[in-house]
Chains A and B, each alone.
Chain A
Amino acid sequence: MPTNEQLKATQHVLDVPYLARLARLEITAEEIEIFGPQLGRILDHVEQINKLDISGIEPTAHAITVFDVIRGDEVTESLPKGIILANAPHNANGLFVVPKVLD
C-alpha cells in the first residue's frame, strides 16, 4: 500500500484540456483542477511497470487465445429500423437528425 507521502507527490503533469478535447468531452475549470493531480498520482503508481525488463515479451491483447472467427456469408434478420430509431434523441424520415454540418 502506498504511504500518504507517496499519494501526495506527483511527477506527472497532464494536459487535461487537450486530452478532453481529443475525447470529445467538454470539461469545467473545476474538473481540470481536480483531475490533473488525481491522474498524476495514478500515473505515478502506474510508473512501476517501467521497473520490469520486458525485452522479448510478446504483448497480450486477449488472455485466452482467440482465432479469427468467420461466420457463414448469409443474410440474417436485422433489428427493425423503427425500433432502433425509437432510441434516437432526434429522428425524422427514417434517419438520425444532427445539427447542420454543411452550410
Chain B
Amino acid sequence: MSSFTPFQSIASTRRLLRSKEISPVELIEGLEQRIAAVDPSIGAYIERDLENAKKEALNADLSKPLGGIPIGIKDAITVKGQPCQSASRILDGFTAPYDSTAVARLRAAGGIPFGRMNMDEFAMGSSTENSAFHPTRNPWSLDRIPGGSSGGSAAAVAAGTALATLGSDTGGSIRQPAALCGCVGLKPTYGRVSRYGLIAFASSLDQIGPLTSNVEDSGILLNALAGKDPHDSTSLELPDEDFTAEIGRDLKGLRIGIPREYFVDGMEAGVRTSVDAAVKQLVSLGAEPVEISLPHTEYAVAVYYIIATAEASANLARFDGVRYGRRSAEAKDLLSLYEKTRAEGFGREVKRRIILGTYVLSSGYYDAYYLRAQKVRTLIRRDFDHAFTKVDAIVSPTSPETAFRLGEKTDDPLKMYLADIFTIATNLAGICGMSLPCGFSERDGVQLPVGLQLLGRPFGESRLLRIGHAYEQSTDWHKCRPAIV
C-alpha cells in the first residue's frame, strides 16, 4: 500500500500520522510519487522542493492541528528560501526572503509547504492560460482549462495530487477554479487572513484562502490561517474562533437567499439544473428559501475592472528591474531600463491591465472612472448588507458555465472577464464566499463539474462551512473522481 492515498481528508491523514501507520516523510514521498505519475498530464505544479519538504517532515510535530500535512502554495504567496514569481517572467530569479504570514501560520500549525502551484500571471485571468510557465489542464477533461487564477491549486486537489492548497481570490480566483475542477474553495472575509507576503494584485480585494477536497478541511485550514497580523494593517483583530465548530449542526431555521440576478438567461443549462437541485436539497435539509434581489449585480464586472486594474497599475509599478527579478540586457539608461524590463517581463494580459489601470487613474478620467466606480462599489456593498438582514447565506452558481476549452477565450479579454460575473461582487463587498461541488453538466458530450456558491456576511465563515458541510454530506458529488485517477 502506498503511503499517500489520494483524496484522503486532512482529518483522516492526521489520524494515520498520529497512529504511526505512516510517517510524515513517507507521506511526502508517497505524494511526490503520485505527483510524478499524474501531474505531467495536468501541469498543476510549477516546481517542488522534495528534499527540503522531507527535512521539514523529519521534524514534524504531530500533536499540532496540521502536523506533517503537506500543503501546496500558489506561486503568489512567499515561502522563505523558495522561488516565488506569481507565474511571471519579471520575477525570474527571485527567491523569497521571508515567509508570508499565511505560510508562517501553516508552519506554526505543523503544516509543510510543498510545491509552487501554477496560476495566471499576477493572478490576472480566469483560466491559468496566462501563466508564463505552462498552461494547467482540467483533470476532468484535459483539453479544458481548470479555471483561474488559482488553477494549479484547484487542479491538484481535484486530481488527487495535493491534500490541500492555498490560493488567492481577487474576483473569484479561488471559487471559480474550485467550481470548474470540482473541489472546495473558500474566500475568507477581507481582513480575515493577512496578505503579508502575498504578491499584490488589487490590495483592496485580494484575500488568501484554502482549496480542499471537502468542506471540513477548508475549516481546518482557515483555523490555521486566520488572525490579526502586525505586518498587514488591513488584517483584523477578531475573537478567536474554531471555524469547524458549527460543522455537523443541521440547517433548521437558517434562511438562504436566492438572488434573482444570479439566475439569468445565457447560463449553461446543466449549471442551472444542478444549482436548482442543490437549492431544493438545502431546503429539504431544513433551510428556508427566500427570494432576494441584489440589484447592482450587473455593474459588478465594470466596477471590478476599473478598481482592480487601477490598483494593479499602482502595485505593479514596483517591478522596475532595480531591486529584484529580471532586468533587460538592452537598457541604455534608467528610463529604458524600466520600459524594456517591463516589456520583456510582463505578459499580454498584465500589460493590458496596467494600461487600463493607468487610463482610469489618469488626469481627466479619474472622476469619471475610478471615483465613480468606488461609488458604485458602495451600492454593491449595500445590496449585500440589505440582503443579509433577511438571510443567513446567499446561494448561487459559482460560474455561469463549466470548464471551457484551452484557447477558447484567449483572444477576447472581455469574454474572459465575464466568466467571473457571479464571483466578482463578493470581493467588492468584502464578504466571504465558498464554492463546492453540486453536480455535473454535459458540455460538448463531456460531463464537467458544477460549483455551488455560498456567500456569507462579513466574518460569517463558520456559518458558511456549516451549510456547505450539511449539503456536501447529503450528496455524493464530493466523492466523484475524474477518470485520470
Contact of B377 among A59, A79, A90 (CB under 8 A): A59
Task: List which B259-309 residues lie within 8 A (CB) of chain A.
Answer: 266, 296, 298-299, 301-303, 305-306
Knowing A39-B355, A59-B371 are in contact, say whether A64-B414 is a contact too (CB < 8 A). no
B430 close to A87 (CB less than 8 A): no
B374 at the binding interface (Cβ < 8 Å)? yes
Task: List which B369-398 residues lie within 8 A (CB) of chain A.
Answer: 369, 371-379, 381
Q: Mark A74-103, 1 if CB is under 8 A from B, else 0.
A: 000001000110111110000010111100
Knowing A45-B414, A62-B430 are in contact, say whether A71-B375 is a contact too (CB < 8 A). no
Expressed in whole angstroms, the minimum distance between the Cβ of A76 and any Cβ of chain B is 9
A45 close to B302 (CB less than 8 A): yes
- Secondary structure call for the B interface: helix
A99 close to B322 (CB less than 8 A): no
Please name all residues of chain B whose beta carbon is closer than 8 Å to the beta carbon of A50 when the two chains form the complex: 372
Knowing A39-B359, A86-B95, A99-B333 are in contact, say whether A64-B190 is a contact too (CB < 8 A). yes
With both beta carbons as reference points, the residue of chain B lying nearest to A51 in the complex is identified as B299
Expressed in whole angstroms, the minimum distance between the Cβ of A18 and any Cβ of chain B is 9
Expressed in whole angstroms, the minimum distance between the Cβ of A20 and any Cβ of chain B is 6
Q: Mark A53-65, 1 if CB is under 8 A from B, else 0.
A: 0100111111110
A62 close to B379 (CB less than 8 A): no
Contact of A35 among B296, B320, B337, B351 (CB under 8 A): B351
Q: Mark A1-27, 1 if CB is under 8 A from B, else 0.
A: 110000100000010100110111111
| CA A78 to CA B340, docked complex, whole Å | 31
Please name all residues of chain B whose beta carbon is closer than 8 Å to the beta carbon of A96 when the two chains form the complex: 322-323
| CA A38 to CA B228, docked complex, whole Å | 41
With both beta carbons as reference points, the residue of chain B lying nearest to A20 in the complex is identified as B355
Task: List which B224-270 residues lie within 8 A (CB) of chain A.
Answer: 230, 233-234, 236, 266
B233 close to A69 (CB less than 8 A): yes
B412 at the binding interface (Cβ < 8 Å)? yes
Please name all residues of chain B whose beta carbon is closer than 8 Å to the beta carbon of A84 when the two chains form the complex: 97, 323
A98 close to B234 (CB less than 8 A): no
Instruction: Give the size category of B's interface with A.
Output: 35 or more
A64 close to B230 (CB less than 8 A): no
A26 close to B378 (CB less than 8 A): no
Expressed in whole angstroms, the minimum distance between the Cβ of A100 and any Cβ of chain B is 8
Contact of A57 among B191, B233, B301, B378 (CB under 8 A): B378
Knowing A25-B354, A62-B204, A88-B323 are in contact, say whether A19-B95 is a contact too (CB < 8 A). no
Interface size on A, residues (CB 8 A): 54
| CA A86 to CA B321, docked complex, whole Å | 14
Please name all residues of chain B whose beta carbon is closer than 8 Å to the beta carbon of A88 when the two chains form the complex: 322-324
Expressed in whole angstroms, the minimum distance between the Cβ of A37 and any Cβ of chain B is 11
A39 close to B352 (CB less than 8 A): yes
| CA A47 to CA B338, docked complex, whole Å | 32
B95 close to A24 (CB less than 8 A): no
A49 at the binding interface (Cβ < 8 Å)? yes
| CA A60 to CA B189, docked complex, whole Å | 16
B313 at the binding interface (Cβ < 8 Å)? yes
Please name all residues of chain B whose beta carbon is closer than 8 Å to the beta carbon of A59 when the two chains form the complex: 371, 374-375, 377-378
Contact of B359 among A14, A38, A63, A101 (CB under 8 A): A14
Please name all residues of chain B whose beta carbon is closer than 8 Å to the beta carbon of A7 when the two chains form the complex: 412, 414-415
Please name all residues of chain A whose beta carbon is closer than 8 Å to the beta carbon of B413 when the two chains form the complex: 38, 42
A83 close to B97 (CB less than 8 A): yes
With both beta carbons as reference points, the residue of chain B lying nearest to A56 in the complex is identified as B375
With both beta carbons as reference points, the residue of chain B lying nearest to A48 in the complex is identified as B302
Q: Mark A28-46, 1 if CB is under 8 A from B, else 0.
A: 1001001100110111011
Expressed in whole angstroms, the minimum distance between the Cβ of A58 and any Cβ of chain B is 6
| CA A101 to CA B191, docked complex, whole Å | 41
B362 at the binding interface (Cβ < 8 Å)? yes
Task: Knowing that A24-B338, A35-B351 touch, tell me 6 more A-B residue pairs with CB under 8 angstroms.
Answer: A23-B313, A42-B356, A60-B378, A69-B233, A89-B327, A96-B323
23 pairs, CB–CB < 8 Å, chain A vs chain B: A1-B418, A20-B351, A24-B339, A25-B342, A26-B343, A27-B343, A31-B348, A39-B356, A49-B373, A49-B376, A50-B372, A52-B379, A54-B376, A57-B375, A59-B371, A59-B374, A59-B375, A60-B378, A66-B233, A87-B93, A87-B323, A87-B324, A98-B334
